[in-house]
Amino acid sequence: MTNFEEKTFHSETIFNGKVISLQVDDVSLPDGKTSKRELVKHPGAVAIIPVTEDNKIVFVKQYRKALEKTIIEIPAGKLEPGEKPAITALRELQEETGYTTEHLTYVTSFYTSPGFADEIIYLYQTQSLSKLEQPLETDEDEFVELMELTMEEAEALVESEEIHDAKTAYALLYLKLKGLL
Amino acid sequence: MTNFEEKTFHSETIFNGKVISLQVDDVSLPDGKTSKRELVKHPGAVAIIPVTEDNKIVFVKQYRKALEKTIIEIPAGKLEPGEKPAITALRELQEETGYTTEHLTYVTSFYTSPGFADEIIYLYQTQSLSKLEQPLETDEDEFVELMELTMEEAEALVESEEIHDAKTAYALLYLKLKGLL
């Protein structure tokens, strides 16, 4: 494979936020010319497909300021520094859905926007849910509403683009194709 | 559905780049408290699944500075201001693969990272490719290498996470499930 690596000769951090940071790198290209790369740094995240006893998938409806609208997603959340994804996944499942599980299975991982961001999402699933006796609170700036759908209902929403979030749509199709749901 | 809308009472643009911009909004939450939202603005993009006469899918290998590595993707590119996605899709197909087509079909669209970015990707496919007699040039800071794979080969790379890009993996599974490939 040809090596198209870009060497950084200058890097500037423009912004350091609570979720993301922004960095602009000056790089030298394979042909010797130079360019600027605008890079969003993200801590990485998890997403979980929780399936209930009666074979329904638990979704969350959440307002997304970036889109200025409420969308349907599977439960998800950011990694805390140094945290193992399976730990984050269990916490997010508990906080966002009020369910817990002793059997969380790793499914796959993927980069969401490699053109400008390093975000990676680790996907988990569980089919053995039990209700938490003492529900946890979501993050203080997070408001979600639950929604349970069969695979057929969810697939119809993917097709109509009412499920419009890539990680959610991909997770559903991945599990369906693997025969895991 | 409960209304979890967040009202913006202050918005600051931190950075305006050639690809993305970064904005930090102060919002009031449904419970009356306030929070900050870090928002990446992106012009939107297209991705294309090009399928050759002998039923192979054309991929591009491209170095992604955000990930500091070369990954396998379907051809893709950003929308120019005011440009219709189908126009962008044809141009990116031509520039990145050297193929053209008279039949580009819209498949679906999706948000890649709704937690922090507004990027939407419009997905197209074509199964009637012909070689351009006069190949176009890619963008001056873009270097790609082509790779043609059968659906079975591509699926194996999705499973092994060697195809690690969400839009690419999702596009493959979507078309397979719909019987379009």
Residue B177's pLDDT band (cuts 50, 70, 90): very high
Residue B86's pLDDT band (cuts 50, 70, 90): very high
Q: Does the beta carbon of A91 lie under 8 angstroms from any beta carbon of chain B?
A: no
Rounded mean pLDDT, B123-141: 90
Q: Which residues in chain A have their CB less than 8 angstroms from residue B64's CB?
A: 114-115
The whole-angstrom separation of Cα B159 and Cα B130 is 30
Q: Which residues in chain B have their CB less than 8 angstroms from residue A159's CB?
A: 108
pLDDT at position B134: 85
pLDDT at position A1: 60
Rounded mean pLDDT, B38-55: 97
Q: How far is A61 from chain B (nearest CA, A)?
A: 9
Residue B1's pLDDT band (cuts 50, 70, 90): low
pLDDT at position B168: 98
CA angle B12/A42/A115 to nearest 5° reads: 90
pLDDT at position B167: 98
Residue B130's pLDDT band (cuts 50, 70, 90): very high
CA angle A83/A15/B18 to nearest 5° reads: 115
Interface of A with B in 116-175 (CB under 8 A): 116-119, 121, 140-141, 143-145, 158-159, 161, 164-167, 169-170, 173-174
Beta carbons of B118 and B111 less than 8 angstroms apart: yes
Structure tokens at A122: 């680790």
Q: How far is CA A56 from CA A30, A127, A176, A177, A180, in A?
A: 50, 10, 13, 17, 13
Q: Does the beta carbon of B106 lie under 8 angstroms from any beta carbon of chain A?
A: no
Interface touch A67/B111, C-beta < 8 Å: yes
Closest CA to A130 of A109, A110, A104: A104
Beta carbons of A79 and A171 less than 8 angstroms apart: no
pLDDT in tens, B137-170: 888 888 999 999 999 999 999 999 999 999 999 9
Q: Which residues in chain A have their CB less than 8 angstroms from residue B20's CB?
A: 38, 40, 116
A142 has a pLDDT exceeding 90: no
Rounded mean pLDDT, B95-113: 97
Rounded mean pLDDT, A144-150: 96
The whole-angstrom separation of Cα B100 and Cα B76 is 14
Q: Does the beta carbon of B9 lie under 8 angstroms from any beta carbon of chain A?
A: no
The whole-angstrom separation of Cα B73 and Cα B147 is 10
Closest CA to A77 of A62, A88, A65, A63: A88
Structure tokens at B24: 């930090």
Beta carbons of B162 and A1 less than 8 angstroms apart: no
Beta carbons of B75 and B96 less than 8 angstroms apart: yes
Q: Which residues in chain B have their CB less than 8 angstroms from residue A27's CB?
A: 65
Interface of A with B in 29-58 (CB under 8 A): 29-31, 33, 35-40, 42, 45
pTM: 0.96
- Residues of A identified as active-site: 140
pLDDT in tens, A35-49: 999 999 999 999 999
Interface touch B169/A110, C-beta < 8 Å: yes
- Listed in sequence order, the residues at least 6 apart from B166 whose beta carbon sits closer than 8 Å to its beta carbon are A110, A111, A112, A113, A121, A166, A167, A170, B112
DSSP string of B97-139, one letter each residue? HSEEES--EEEEEEES-TTTB--EEEEEEES-EEE-SSPPPPP
Interface touch B66/A39, C-beta < 8 Å: yes
Interface touch A66/B37, C-beta < 8 Å: yes
- How many residues are listed for chain B in this entry? 181
Rounded mean pLDDT, B15-28: 97
pLDDT in tens, A119-141: 999 999 999 999 998 888 888 88
pLDDT in tens, A61-117: 999 999 999 999 999 999 999 999 999 999 999 999 999 999 999 999 999 999 999
- Residues of B identified as active-site: 140
Cα-based torsion angle of the residue sequence B109, B113, B117, B121 in order, rounded to the nearest 10 degrees: -20
